[in-house]
Amino acid sequence: MSADHPPTPLGYSRVAPGKIAGIVTCLEMLARPVPKPARPIERPLTLQRFETPDLGVYRELFRLVGEDWLWFSRLVMPDGELAAILTDPAVEVYALRQGRKAIGLLELDFRSEGQCELAFFGLVKEAIGQGAGRFLMDQAIAKAWARPISRLWVHTCTHDSPAALGFYRRSGFVPYAIEVEVADDPRLSGHVPRSAAAHVPIIEA
């Protein structure tokens, strides 16, 4: 251990250089909540389902929505594996549109019987704070509970927007577990620009 770096305190675990670590909060909803009053939106929003998603189009929207929050799983996933997920009849993928522009992504995963995972949910940066998030969540909840499920769940982590956890709780989700995720930093592999997620430091070897 270098003299410049003191020993790791008891109870701490040092993350290796080149890695990122996030505290993950898992939340669930065991019954459909009472719908909240809709917030007026200046420009109408529409939800368009990707019936047979083009991987390039999907990944571009995934990147636009998630880059600042270090979404990378679908960027590093092999094409065949991603295509199998997106074309599975138990997976529903939607683009949120304002006019002709895609401003959000919603992905519902029903592959576990009786459950739905809110696998991906988010907006492009410029659409945040204008009511589009509430519209998208209302759509997500309605579409999830339209199927015979008994549980809708989602997870968020410390790489995400600081507002995400509170938003999910206000939407009716209840935290049930906390986990730690360690992964390769996608900014070092080139899958995500080095300038992304300035709130998460890059630790190089």
Tell me, yes or no, whether 204 lies in a domain: no
| Per-residue pLDDT reduced to its tens digit, 139-162 | 999 999 999 999 999 999 999 999
Q: What is the mean pLDDT of residues 72-98?
A: 96
Confidence of residue 130 (pLDDT cuts 50, 70, 90): confident
Is residue 72 one of the residues assigned to a domain? yes
Is residue 199 in some structural domain?
A: no
Tell me whether residue 181 is in a domain.
yes
In a domain, 2, yes or no: no
Let me know if residue 196 belongs to a domain. no
Percent of the chain topping pLDDT 70: 96
CATH number at residue 164: 3.40.630.30
Domain that holds residue 112: 20-31+44-189
Q: Is the pLDDT of residue 42 over 70?
A: no
Predicted model pTM: 0.92
Residue with the two structure tokens 């594996």: 81
For the chain, what percent of residues have pLDDT higher than 90? 83
Q: Is residue 38 part of a domain?
A: no
Q: How many CB atoms lie within 10 A of CB 73?
A: 15
Dist CA 8 CA 27 (whole Å) = 31
Q: Which long-range contacts (CB under 8 A, 24 or more apart) does 59-65 make?
A: 61/95, 61/102, 61/105, 62/105, 62/120, 63/192, 64/102, 64/124, 65/104, 65/105, 65/120, 65/122, 65/123, 65/124
> Measuring CA to CA, which residue among 178, 173, 198 is closest to residue 187?
198
Over residues 59-75, mean pLDDT: 96
Q: What is the number of domains present in the chain?
A: 1
73 assigned to some structural domain: yes
pLDDT tier at 190, thresholds 50, 70, 90: very high
